[in-house]
Amino acid sequence: MVLTWLKVVVYALVPTSMHPESLKLDKLATYRTATNPLSLSVTPAIKTSPAVIAVADLMKSVSILTLVPPPPNTGLSWTLTESARHFATIWSSFVSAIDENEWVLADMEGNLIVLGRNVNGATDDDRRRLEVTSELRLGEVINSIVPVRVPKENMLPVRARGSSTTTHSNTAAGVANGPLVTPKAFLATVEGGVYMLGTINAEQQDLLMRLQQSVSARTKGLGHMPWAKYRAFKTEVREADEPFRFVDGELVEGFLDFTPEDMEEVVEELGEGLELETLRGMVEALKRLH
């Protein structure tokens, strides 16, 4: 598979007719992009589904293509069919699949967007539109994304510091056994930065979002710029007020630098029977991820 100007071309390695031991490239299918394809992310075919290719266009965000094989004994050709698209003006820099029907897209303006496909949508339009499930302004242009697969058995459960069990009060506060964050990809920027992207356990999402809000309210940024405004998605065509469904791990880890009094205030704000040692253990577990 190669990128050419305005096109994505899929090739297959096939034996030559005169020398079966030799191979040649045989064009299978092509797809014409809106402007210029900059990045591809290929999900190989399995028994239950065909190969899926995410194409990051220079200006028109991401298109999801399905490589459809021809029916047997028909003589028809392979086809690349556009099955979904993100309908937005995004100056893409890199795209990568991080889960089934989920992709992360970086752009030239320092933003990071997670896109999901609703394969069970009620209408064809619902199934064709990629939905923004998270977005954040990183502030650096990402030029490489490497997905990671961590077996669940290798992920440590969330526990309070110094405790080998999860108490009833911790469970009531939304802290349950299981990984706090599951790593999904490493991100590399043009400035030499490396970041880890992970998905938060559903049981801890609300707690970490509220913790982030409490920590940001007690953290002074450079020039006294509010954290939410600094991390808000921003392009030439749209500007948000705050990040959407993203937790900034570096900000949350700042909880460990708070005074005991500030820590207690944060715990009181979060409520729901949460204990200080439990919360401290959660944040330290986040820090150990990197």
Question: Which domains does the chain possess?
Answer: 36-138 (no CATH), 157-177+202-290 (1.10.150.910)
Can you give the pLDDT at residue 22?
A: 86
The one-letter code for the residue type at 260 is P
All residue ranges of the chain with pLDDT < 50 are 158-174
Is 14 in a helix, a strand, or coil?
Answer: strand
Give the relative orientation of helices 260-270 and 205-217 as an angle to the nearest 10 degrees: 140
Render pLDDT for 43-89 as a digit per residue (tens, 0 to 9): 999 888 899 999 999 999 999 999 998 888 777 889 999 999 999 99
Can you give the pLDDT at residue 225?
A: 86
What is the pTM assigned to this prediction?
0.85
CA–CA separation, 166 and 175 (whole Å): 8
Can you give the pLDDT at residue 14?
A: 86
Torsion, CA 208, CA 213, CA 217, CA 219, rounded to 10: 40
